[in-house]
Structure 1
Amino acid sequence: MEDNMKVIFLQDVLPNSRAGDIKDVKNGYARNFLLPRELATMATAGELKRVESLRRDAEVRRVKEAEEWREVASKLAEVPVEILVRSGPRGRLYGSVTSTMLAQKLTEISNVAVDRRGIRFETPVRMLGEYLVPIHYFEGVDGQVVLNVISVDGGAEAAAMEAAMVEGVGGDGTGEMSLLEEFESRRIAREAKERGEEDDDDSGDDAESTKEE
């Protein structure tokens, strides 16, 4: 059986230990992890005199960190977070959006490392759309972000058209036609714009040829 070592924690090692705590831990855990990283020290008579000071200093750090995390949570709550994914024609993802993916995106936006373990999806994210995601950032600091899952391959438009058709079904069907016509008009406008740009390019080429002659 492995012997234990009594240590004083110099820093918080969440979720179970706080700076100033005096605990018996496994010898290997102390020597291979806690002591080399200066997260704890052996509970000698001299070190025991530092306990109250360690606890006070740790509480000051916690208050400061909590305030910093509140600012991060507030910033991330202001703007929807977009994640681009591949999806099928009905808006279903090829896979799902994971807590790791969202944590990486939040870290990019905030420049602060967001722990994926604090992200709490209420349901698996396997469809395009908007989701409200609760997040635990720090002790006493919780928030939520708006996640927009967007297709990178046209699946979003297809899903929107399908949703429009479903929404329009019923009654005299006028809702379906008006929504579908809106999508169709957008498509026609895009194609017309592309043709116009091509015509401009051709006109420029003709003018250049005439000038050379």
Structure 2
Amino acid sequence: MKVVLLQDVKALGKKDDIVNVSDGYARNFLFPKKLAVEATAGKLNEINDKKSSLENKKRKELEEAKKLAERLNNIEIVIKTKAGVNGKLFGSITAKDIADLIKENHKIEIDKKKIVLEDAIKSLGTHEIEIKVYPEVVAKVKVTVSQE
């Protein structure tokens, strides 16, 4: 019997998957626990519509992410801070600082968790910072740290 899963079922499939199971398993376990429904033409059409709308939504999000990445690639941030004689900063520049400056200067809101910094910036100079805009889209922003 073909059924459409309403929830993830261990060792069977994920939500909205169409799977073949024995009649007894479907009637005695899946249907009473509302884990699945019988795969009718109407239900299959409903699932296909859901999948196509989800694909369209993802495609739009990807396009928006690419546009945002293009804007971010052209941004250069200048940070003036106190530093010692040898170029070491008194303190450090963190992902939060960079996100705040992008929001303040360019009106683009970036989540600080999406900014890739292995360690906080602790020296003067130009640093190239990666920002993960979307799973496949990465932007690079130049951050110039100069002495105050």
TM-score normalised by the shorter chain: which range applies? 0.5 to 0.7
Q: Say whether residues 1:138 and 2:134 are aligned partners.
A: yes
Q: Say whether residues 1:149 and 2:145 are aligned partners.
A: yes
| Range moving further from structure 2, 121-130 or 139-148 | 121-130
Seen in structure 2, the aligned counterparts of structure 1 residues 43 and 89 have a Cα distance that, compared at 3 Å, is: farther
2:60 aligned counterpart, secondary structure: helix
Task: Name the counterpart of 1:74.
Answer: 70
Seen in structure 2, the aligned counterparts of structure 1 residues 150 and 22 have a Cα distance that, compared at 3 Å, is: farther
Task: Name the counterpart of 1:22.
Answer: 15
Seen in structure 2, the aligned counterparts of structure 1 residues 112 and 79 have a Cα distance that, compared at 3 Å, is: closer
How far 1:44 moved relative to its partner? Answer: 7.8
Q: Is the 8 A contact 1:103 1:115 kept in 2?
A: yes
Q: Which of 115, 118, 122 is 2:111 aligned to?
A: 115
> Which is richer in helix?
1
Which consecutive unaligned segments of at least 5 residues does structure 1 have? 1-5, 9-20, 24-41, 153-213
Instruction: Return the index of the structure with the highest Cα Rg.
Output: 1
| 1:98 maps to amino acid | T
How far 1:130 moved relative to its partner? Answer: 0.5
Q: What is the alpha-carbon distance in structure 2 between the residues aligned to residue 127 and residue 72 of structure 1?
A: 28
| 1:94 maps to amino acid | F
TM-score scaled to structure 1, two decimals? 0.45
Q: Is the 8 A contact 2:95 2:120 kept in 1?
A: no
TM-score scaled to structure 2, two decimals? 0.61
Which consecutive unaligned segments of at least 5 residues does structure 2 have? 1-5, 9-13, 17-33, 38-42
Q: What is the alpha-carbon distance in structure 2 between the residues aligned to residue 82 and residue 107 of structure 1?
A: 13
> Identity over the aligned pairs, expressed in percent?
23
| 2:80 maps to amino acid | L
How far 1:43 moved relative to its partner? Answer: 7.1
Q: Which of 123, 126, 134 is 2:122 aligned to?
A: 126
Task: Name the counterpart of 1:57.
Answer: 53
Seen in structure 2, the aligned counterparts of structure 1 residues 112 and 55 have a Cα distance that, compared at 3 Å, is: farther
Corresponding residue pairs, total: 115
| Range moving further from structure 2, 128-137 or 52-61 | 52-61
Q: Is the 8 A contact 1:96 1:125 kept in 2?
A: yes
Task: Name the counterpart of 1:93.
Answer: 89
Q: Superposition RMSD on alpha carbons, in Å?
A: 3.0
| 1:121 maps to amino acid | L
> Which is richer in strand?
2
1:22 aligned counterpart, secondary structure: coil
How far 1:137 moved relative to its partner? Answer: 0.7
How far 1:51 moved relative to its partner? Answer: 3.7
Q: Which whole-Å deviations, capped at 9, do the CAs of 1:110-163 have from their partners, x for residues lacking one?
A: 5343222222225541011100112211121112111111333xxxxxxxxxxx
2:91 aligned counterpart, secondary structure: strand
Seen in structure 2, the aligned counterparts of structure 1 residues 43 and 51 have a Cα distance that, compared at 3 Å, is: farther
2:86 aligned counterpart, secondary structure: coil
